[in-house]
Structure 1
C-alpha cells in the first residue's frame, strides 16, 4: 500500500494519488476552464485503462473480403458479452444459494440487459450474403462457434451439462479446469429449485441433491411446484418474481439460439458446419430445447 511518506518522496506518484479523488478532478476541471485535457506525454489514460491498443490489434482477417472483418468483430463482441452474462448468472446463482432472492433478481435483471445486447450483436451479420461468406469461409478452416468455451460456460451455468463438451478444450488445461468446475456445481436452475425446497415447497429430493455433472431432466413434480408459485402472483411474492425473471433469461437464450440458426441459414444454408456438425439440423435441435423446462411446460396447465 502507498504511504503518505512514499507519495511525498515521489511527486509523480503523489500527483497520481491526488488525481484519483473527486477534489483533484474538480481542480483539474476548473484549471481547464471546463474543457477536456488535451496534452498527454504518452498513451491517453483512456487507451491504457481499457487496453484499446491491444483490442484493436486483434482483428486479423486472412482474406481481402471486407465482410471477414465484420465477422471477426461480431465474434469478438459476442465472446466479451459471454463473459459479462456468465458473471451475472453466476452471481444470481450464488445469491440464490445464500437465500438472497432480491440480490438474485437484481443480477438476473442485469443479465437480461446484457443478453439483449448480445442478441442485438447478430445484427452485425444480418446482411451478410452467401457470396461474401464464401469468399472467406475457407480461411478459418475447422474454426466453429461450437468450440467457444465462453459459450459452453454459459450452457453449463444454465444446466445444459455434458462432460463430453469439455473434450474440445482438453489441450487448454486452464479452460478445461474452469469448465469442469462449472460442470460439477449446481446450475442457476438447480439453485432456484434448492431455494424452493428450503422455502418448504415439495421439490423432489432428486432435484435438490444429485449428480450435478448430469443434465437436468424435467420432472412433473417440479412443474407442480412452480404452478403453486404462480398461483400467488402478487407483486410481493418473491418466488413468483424469481420465476418470471428466470423466464426472461430463458426466453433470451432461446432467441439467441434462433438468431444463430437464422444467421447460418442465411449465409450458408444447409451446408455442413465447419466444426464437423450437420449445420442447421444441429442448431435447430438446440433451438427446440427449452431452458428451465418446467417454467415453460406449466403454462399449458395453468
Structure 2
C-alpha cells in the first residue's frame, strides 16, 4: 500500500500541474556534456517563450487600436514593455560565456540559429519590417497608422505638434517608441554576447556572425517615431 510520503512524491502538486512542470522541465536536451550548454539552451528557450508572450501582448494591442481603444492598447503595450525588459535581461545568463566554453558545444547544434525564429520575425513585422511569408499578421505600425488616419492625422509629427489636444495619441506614440527602442536594445545585447563568446567568427546558418548582427543594431523600428525627434514639435 502506498504511503502518504510516496504519494506526495508521485502526484504532482497543483502548482506543478498548472505550470505543466513535468513537461516543461523535461524539454531540455543538451547535445554534449559541456557544462555551459544547458545555460545556452535554457536561455534560448526562455527567450522564445518571452517572444510568444510579447506577440500575445502586441496582437492584443493591435486589436484594440483597430477598435479605437487607445487606453486598452496602452495597457497591452506597457505590459509588453515588462516582457521586453525581461528579454533584455535574459542575456545576463550568457554574459560570462567564454569562447572556449562556447566552442565545447557550438558544433553540436549545427546550422541552428536565432535567425530561424519565426516568432522573432513576426515581432519584427509588427514593428514595420515587411514579411512576405506573413502578409496578414498583426502590425503595430499598420494599426497605429489606421487609428491616426481615422482621427484626422496624416502622421506622428502632426500628433506631437497637437499633443495638448490629443494626449492619448501622444502617450501612444511614446509607448510605441518605447517598444521599438527596447527591441533595438535587445539586438544590441545580442551583439555584445556574440562578441564575447565568439568574436568575429562565422555565425550559424550561413551568417557572418557579429558582422551581420552589427549591421542591424542601429535599426530604427517604427522609424517615423524616431524621425519626429529631429523635427520642431511646435508648428
TM above 0.5: yes
Q: Alignment partner of 1:153: what SS?
A: helix
- Of 149, 153, 173 in structure 2, the residue corresponding to residue 197 of structure 1 is 149
Aligned length: 225
Q: Alignment partner of 2:216: what SS?
A: helix
Q: Is the 8 A contact 1:235 1:241 kept in 2?
A: no
Shift of 1:228: 2.2
For CA contacts below 8 A with separation 6 or more, give which structure has more relative contact order: 2
Q: Output the aligned Cα RMSD.
A: 1.6
Separation in 1 of the partners of 2:127 and 2:156? 18
Separation in 2 of the partners of 1:245 and 1:117? 17
The more displaced of 59-68 and 241-250 is: 59-68
Q: Which has the larger radius of gyration?
A: 1
* Structure 1: gaps spanning 5 or more residues: 1-38, 167-179, 204-224
The change in CA–CA distance for 1:185 and 1:51 in structure 2 (over 3 A counts) is: closer
Q: Who is 1:149 aligned against?
A: 118
- Of 200, 206, 210 in structure 2, the residue corresponding to residue 280 of structure 1 is 210
Q: Alignment partner of 2:221: what SS?
A: coil
1:46 aligns with 2:12: no
Q: Who is 1:4 aligned against?
A: none
Separation in 1 of the partners of 2:160 and 2:121? 31
Q: Who is 1:102 aligned against?
A: 71
**TM-score under structure 2 normalisation?**
0.91
Q: Is the 8 A contact 1:67 1:133 kept in 2?
A: yes
Q: Who is 1:259 aligned against?
A: 189
**TM-score under structure 1 normalisation?**
0.71
Q: Who is 2:176 aligned against?
A: 246
Q: Is the 8 A contact 1:65 1:135 kept in 2?
A: yes
- Of 38, 42, 51 in structure 2, the residue corresponding to residue 82 of structure 1 is 51
Q: Who is 2:4 aligned against?
A: none
* Structure 2: gaps spanning 5 or more residues: 1-6
1:1-302 matched pairs, under 5 angstroms = 40=8, 42-163=11-132, 166=133, 180=134, 183-185=135-137, 187-201=139-153, 203=154, 225-234=155-164, 237-302=167-232
Shift of 1:255: 0.2
* Deviation digits for residues 220-258 of structure 1 (CA, Å, limit 9, x no counterpart): xxxxx3222112344961110100000110110000011
The change in CA–CA distance for 1:186 and 1:143 in structure 2 (over 3 A counts) is: closer
Q: Is the 8 A contact 1:116 1:252 kept in 2?
A: yes
Shift of 1:186: 5.3
The more displaced of 40-49 and 237-246 is: 40-49
